[in-house]
Structure 1
Amino acid sequence: MTVRTTARSGIRATTTTATGLRATAVAILAVAALVSCTQEKTDSGLGAEPSAASATASPSADPVENADQAEQAAGEATEEPTAPAEPAPELVRDAFATLQATLNDTCTPGAGDCAYFLGRVTQELTELDEAMRADPKGPGHFRQPLADMKVLFGKLGEDRSTPHLEKHFSEIVGTRDGINTWMQDHPDDYR
């Protein structure tokens, strides 16, 4: 009888182990199905973000790893968004193109038609100055035009009123024309 009882106990133990393995297999298949159902479908654009789906839907065998994943996901969710970067200055080529667009324009100081023209040329020179200073070639490459604009901006100061700009009409137009000439000798900077 002992042999029979021992044999039955062995069979029961094997049956229990097999049942446990079958239950584990069923659980793994269920989890796999859940994960496949919750993953992002890239073709249709539906679903959650892949990292969020995998962090929440795929259980790990290691509870510490689950805790680490949850902590990392919580940290990512609570990070403050970074401030938007300030817009980069225009490229030299683009800034020069808008300055060149003023070459055939002019006005008559005192006639009332200079406010727009001088304001625009001054603005275009300011933007070209910023673009040249931010250019990867460095301000040393643009030494002459930057020096010319520095002299002009020194004379203009902060006053951008029409009478003040008309007073410096020849310096504004002369700086624009001088920069145009310099740039024509440096086509690699605007083509």
Structure 2
Amino acid sequence: MLLPQIQTTITKKNLMSLKTIYWKIHLRGIPFFYSPNSTLHLYGGAAFERVIYEFRCAAYSIECPPVSREKVANILLAHAGRGGARGITEAAAKIARFAARSWLAPLFDTVCDRLGFVLGNLFDLALERNRNGSKTANMDDCVGFHAALRCAYSRFIKDLSKQCKQLIRHHLDSVTSPFLQLDVLLVFLDV
């Protein structure tokens, strides 16, 4: 039988072991790890759903960090000579794109790390299930094989997390690109 109490960690312990910046949010004045299911020992799909739920809470409750006056002045003055009101609109869009990247990138990195942690925990669960599921074959004698397999699996999860971060960063850069507006306009005009 799989024992979630032994095989998994709760959210707060999960975050401490990741050594990353975790969700910087408060839900109704309460730190997020007191949100529903945060004290339950979840694994597999349930742990995945908890991470996604916490990501949604973090994304919905994110507050815009202040943009420095110097940054706004530099961008506005750089765009001032580019067509009057249009230059100001472009400057505002540039500030918004920069702010969106700076807010969302750490959030996406955190969710990739958290989901990598959830996937990493599945190795122990699979071993336990194999022990309990197949009474005919004893795999306990294959300690070296298990160690090599665990190492390969951990490396795979790290690489997968890194690739996911890169892909998400690429998509975030694409979505916040000034050229996206042109693409949307061309599609809208059916050109």
The two structures have a TM-score, normalised by structure 2, of: 0.25
The two structures have a TM-score, normalised by structure 1, of: 0.25
Q: Which protein shows a greater Rg?
A: 1
Q: Which has the higher contact order (CA 8 A, sep 6+)?
A: 2
